[in-house]
Structure 1
Amino acid sequence: MKNSFFKAIPSGETLPINNIHAVSVSMPTLKDVIGYEEQDEKTLKVIKSGYPRFILHPYLKKLSEYIKKKYDVCDEYEVVVLSSQKAAKLISDKYYIYNKIEIDEPFGVILVQNGTSQLQKVLTYIQHVGCNLSSRLAEEYLYKVKEIDTLHKEELEKEEKAKDIVINTLANAYKQPYENVCLTPSGMNAIYSVIRGINSIQSHNGRTVLVQFGWLYLDTMNIVNHHYQRQKIFKDIKRLDLLENYLKQKGLKVAAIITEIPTNPQLKTVDIKALRKLCDKYNIPLIIDTTFATPYNLDLTSYADIFVESLTKFACGNADVLMGAIILNKKHNLSHMNEEFFQHCEPIFIKDIQRLAVEIKDYKKRVKQISKNTIALVNYLKTCPYIKNLYYCMDEQNKDNYCQTIIDDNSYVGIVSVTFNKPFEEVYDKLNFAKGPSLGTEFTLLMPYTYLAHYDLIKSEKGHKELEEIDLPINLLRISVGIEPIEEIINEFKRIE
């Protein structure tokens, strides 16, 4: 067989390669993945950076050290930097942390006592709320105080045009006015802000239950746990009958329903028309995470009250900007309350917006090419004897898949998940694609989803049962299809035949 078009990327290398602002990291073997999850010293030593909400960026570490010296903070305390002073106050109030030193910086700083469980709680909450400090802001700060010698070279849009380019692109894609779009420093911060907004609006109406429909992304569920004491989870997105029965009893208590279309990583899709009818019947706002669908593959403007999207994924396409967005639907009854939702959003560093403004110009073109490649890849994988299960959206032959009711130009969402009839480690290690967290990149990116998202469940018998209950295989490989020549993508998979 001819040499591979794709080249193995060393463990710990940034994805994209040689980019200090990369949000993914190369994990080329399953041992690397397990070593990362087990916090193996040898594995962690080579990791240059990772997804910013999970791994502290090296510039943020360096900035924390600089702040510690600048304010003569004793070793008893850990310096934690955040996206804003507002975020610092939020977390300080939540965990009863009050800085004993007056710190004056253009971002948030809290001092957390070492050797206590409080530090881990704080870091976890920052991860869930998505109020991490921008690596580009840290870079610029460190450069100005001469702690680093160079700035990363990258193409940036002009500062005065950047925000309008990003917001106008999203407003046009979602068919909404400019003022109905708000940018956030991460997709999780978008979800957090919406949950806070829904809570403040609906609690006055006696609506105190938030419904999660489908097994949602882990941190989405964690945000709900933080802010809703009363919640109801329906794990199977196909069992709309269970939701309907619940709403007959509790519909007037439900503050909102939140779901993903399609779900991550099994690519399941709810009967969206029927779900919308239920929401209308009980006057319940519907929040849809459209990160996988994008506004260019699935037209959901007739269904959602609120859209949330992680712009880090397909909108960016290069895995080097952490950002999200809230889009309020003018067709429904919450769009006039934009201040209620937008006030909880964290500020975004201008250089992140400038970088995304360059990348988002190709958003539609990128998604359409990825969709085209996905159709061809799915057709190939259907013929492969080594494939055990194949999950994708859209399958026009599957009458249970309601995506076909909202499909645009016969598009396929650019994610495919598979399990194999071969040993998972053997297959994973052999493929030369980029391998690590995140998705939506122009380069094909593989992720051993369950290992990286639910490793704690893999380690116990109880966890195995929970994974079975939600139909999530341990050895599932999520494929984020890129824009490379499709014949080369298929040829790489042929290497495992």
Structure 2
Amino acid sequence: MTVLMPTVENAVGETIPPLTAHAVSVSLPTWSANVGYEEGQEWVLSKMKTGYPRFFIHKSIEKFAVAIVEKYGRPGERAMLFPSHAVASRCVEFFRKQAPQLSAEQVRVTDLIPIADKAKAKEINEVSPKVSAVIFPQEHFSIAKTFWQHSGDGVSSRRAEYCHNLLSKGILVDRTEQEESTRMCKGPKRYQNKSSIDATQRTPVKSDRSSQGLDGVTEVQDPTQYVEERFGRNLDLSMTSNAKLAIRRRIAGSLTADVGLTEALALEKDHERIRKVAGFSEDDVYLYPSGMSSIFNSHRKLMDARGQYKSIVYGFPYIDTLKIVQKFGPGCLFYGLGSPEELDDLEQRLESGERYLALFTEFPGNPLLKSPDLQRIRALADKYDFCVVIDETVGNFLNVNVLPYADVVVSSLTKVFSGDSNVMGGSAILNPKGRHYETMKQMWEADYEDNHWAEDSIFLERNSRDFVPRIERTNANAEAICDVLRAHPRVKQVNYPKYSPTRPFYDRCRTPNGGYGGLLSATFYSREDAVAFFDNLDTAKGPSLGTNFTLSSPYVILAHYAELDWAASFGVEADLVRFSVGLEDTQELVNIFRRALESLPK
């Protein structure tokens, strides 16, 4: 399972992985490149072929947005693209709050759907492509971008490419045009399709360097598309529903075998790895376009179900989780240290009568890898009636079982569940034994939209088949790297669940065969050492985590550059370097890290 990364990713702004049209990460190979990116320096920004999808709008999405404005907008306008009218409407609502002076005519939704008399291709009927564009004055782009980033509900780059192609061929049109066309047609509507769940395998389209377009003309794929497909991409989009079912079963823990889709769905459920909560199944798993979307929508649905109460964020979180509860509700009580004393304070507040919607926490946290005391948090939640939302992205369910302590468990499937760094996804799962399960289940069923794009689901299912052995390998590699760093006198601190003072809380949730994960971070006694080490570390370097290859980042510089003092007040140092350890040969990785340590200034 040795992973070799081509050297092309070392160039500033190149995709990671290289030659990958829908890559999730981007190469920022030096400390100065990361600073340059955050400061908007031209020598970095001009070379950016891509970026992390919620922070950098993929160029294919931007091209599609420009085409929509050209056709349906006015001079001086821009568009932000979403997968449904409901999501777009939430963006408009956010606009209303941020810029109340804008009229309904200035900020509006244009829904694009396939037109009946041109939607000939069977594939179109299978995936039911649609896009809802929020069109607005271009000087207010930052508002739309904020909603895009925090909600995680924007369209994916694959959806944008597919739908842009339909728009250019006159197949995708404004819904009002479609309705007008239908009214003028004497016959019945010919396009009233909903994707069906069909468990019958159909003959997959052979992955090749050419494919047949919607109009039957053979189209030559570009090199990046070929690289992305060379490992057996299944292009049969009729299998999307089956792919999603397999994904949900893997998340539920009832499918762990590395087998093809047909065989996977025919297997009996693997009861040995099911999350240990009675009555739990894939029916309680919901897919989202991104991990942040699962958090955003969980928060939104909890407010709908339980009322407009403040939430609690416990432990230093991924930044957008905090922003969501601060900006999209009545506010937040933030405990950034994740300490017992903060839980004491929370208990005093609760005892005095303060009421909260939910407590959001990560297990373990990122980037300090501390583990919260879930047992105590659950006890407080039961006594004082608030929900618990746990982000298990870093720990992952093969290493830790947090569902018994949660009402909702969220995760970014973009990370280690996929591993290939070429597709976005997220999940939210409900605990059927949670005290608010019935109410929450009704809320999810009432307005849940499956907005995970068909092609993304096909990729995600394929990528996740070997999830189990990959976790085992990254656990072992991360411990080896941790030992190398801990042994060096110039390394100030190594953050890893195994060596954290909160290890007892982690071990309480650790599964019988679980390890301590593939993520760790380190600090040095001087910035000079941190910079020298990072610049000489021969791994891929960029945002994201959970990749099949080792990926390093000066995480705090990237995530908190405008608030470094604030982050430091919670023990998150500006010069921290984070490592997402991959599947490479263990000794090769050890040698790479040792060479970087040997490069430290004398």
* TM value normalised by structure 1: 0.91
Which has the larger Rg? 2
Distance 1:160 1:87 in 2: 22
1:299 aligns with 2:398: no
User: Aligned residue for 1:94?
Assistant: 94
The answer to whether the Cα contact below 8 Å between 1:189 and 1:345 also exists between their aligned partners in 2 is: no
Shift of 1:401: 4.1
The answer to whether the Cα contact below 8 Å between 1:312 and 1:321 also exists between their aligned partners in 2 is: yes
Distance 2:241 2:403 in 1: 30
Look up the equivalent residue of 1:492 and give its one-letter code: I
Look up the equivalent residue of 1:133 and give its one-letter code: V
1:391 aligns with 2:495: yes
Shift of 1:242: 2.4
Shift of 1:144: 4.4
Look up the equivalent residue of 1:274 and give its one-letter code: R
Shift of 1:200: 1.4
1:18-167 → structure 2 map (5 Å cutoff): 18-71=19-72, 73-96=73-96, 98-99=104-105, 103-105=110-112, 106-115=130-139, 118-144=140-166, 150=221, 152-153=225-226, 154=229, 155-156=233-234, 158-167=239-248
Moved more, 423-432 or 95-104: 95-104
Q: Secondary structure at the match of 1:495?
A: helix
Shift of 1:5: 8.8
Moved more, 276-285 or 49-58: 276-285
Shift of 1:56: 0.8
The answer to whether the Cα contact below 8 Å between 1:394 and 1:401 also exists between their aligned partners in 2 is: no
Moved more, 190-199 or 227-236: 227-236
1:442 aligns with 2:548: yes
User: Aligned residue for 2:15?
Assistant: 14
Shift of 1:438: 0.4
1:189 aligns with 2:293: yes
Look up the equivalent residue of 2:153 and give its one-letter code: C
1:198 aligns with 2:204: no
Q: Secondary structure at the match of 2:81?
A: strand
User: Aligned residue for 2:578?
Assistant: 478
The answer to whether the Cα contact below 8 Å between 1:156 and 1:351 also exists between their aligned partners in 2 is: no
The answer to whether the Cα contact below 8 Å between 1:126 and 1:132 also exists between their aligned partners in 2 is: yes
Shift of 1:131: 1.5
1:235 aligns with 2:316: no
Change (3 A) 1:381 1:79: same
Shift of 1:394: 2.0
Moved more, 309-318 or 98-107: 98-107
Q: Secondary structure at the match of 2:499?
A: coil
User: Which residue, 555, 558, 574 being the options, matches 1:452?
Assistant: 558
1:368 aligns with 2:459: no
Q: Secondary structure at the match of 1:254?
A: coil
Distance 2:583 2:518 in 1: 10
May I ask how many residue pairs the two structures share in their alignment? 480
CA-to-aligned-CA distance 1:98-121 (integer Å, 9 cap, x gap): 357884412111221123xx3211
The answer to whether the Cα contact below 8 Å between 1:184 and 1:348 also exists between their aligned partners in 2 is: yes
Look up the equivalent residue of 2:83 and give its one-letter code: S
Distance 1:131 1:440 in 2: 21
Shift of 1:400: 5.9
Moved more, 476-485 or 6-15: 6-15
Shift of 1:376: 1.7
Higher RCO (CA < 8 A, seq sep 6+): 1
Distance 1:254 1:141 in 2: 42
User: Which residue, 171, 183, 189 being the options, matches 2:252?
Assistant: 171
* TM value normalised by structure 2: 0.76
Look up the equivalent residue of 2:548 and give its one-letter code: E
User: Aligned residue for 1:214?
Assistant: 315
User: Aligned residue for 2:353?
Assistant: 250
RMSD, aligned α-carbons: 2.3
Distance 2:457 2:241 in 1: 11
Q: Where in structure 1 do 4 or more consecutive aligned residues deviate above 3 Å?
A: 4-8, 96-104, 142-151, 398-401
1:264-303 → structure 2 map (5 Å cutoff): 264-303=366-405
The answer to whether the Cα contact below 8 Å between 1:193 and 1:344 also exists between their aligned partners in 2 is: no
Shift of 1:307: 0.1
Distance 2:241 2:508 in 1: 40
Distance 2:93 2:329 in 1: 18
Distance 1:145 1:247 in 2: 54
The answer to whether the Cα contact below 8 Å between 1:414 and 1:481 also exists between their aligned partners in 2 is: yes
Shift of 1:377: 1.7
Shift of 1:317: 0.5
User: Aligned residue for 2:178?
Assistant: none
Look up the equivalent residue of 1:196 and give its one-letter code: R
The answer to whether the Cα contact below 8 Å between 2:158 and 2:455 also exists between their aligned partners in 1 is: yes
1:418 aligns with 2:522: yes
Shift of 1:410: 5.0
Q: Secondary structure at the match of 1:269?
A: coil
CA-to-aligned-CA distance 1:236-291 (integer Å, 9 cap, x gap): 2122322222222235x122111111111000111222222222222321110110
The answer to whether the Cα contact below 8 Å between 1:306 and 1:328 also exists between their aligned partners in 2 is: yes
Identity across the alignment (%): 30
Moved more, 413-422 or 348-357: 413-422
The answer to whether the Cα contact below 8 Å between 2:398 and 2:471 also exists between their aligned partners in 1 is: yes
Look up the equivalent residue of 1:480 and give its one-letter code: S
User: Aligned residue for 1:461?
Assistant: none
The answer to whether the Cα contact below 8 Å between 2:109 and 2:132 also exists between their aligned partners in 1 is: no
User: Aligned residue for 1:404?
Assistant: 507
Distance 1:125 1:454 in 2: 18
Change (3 A) 1:335 1:62: same
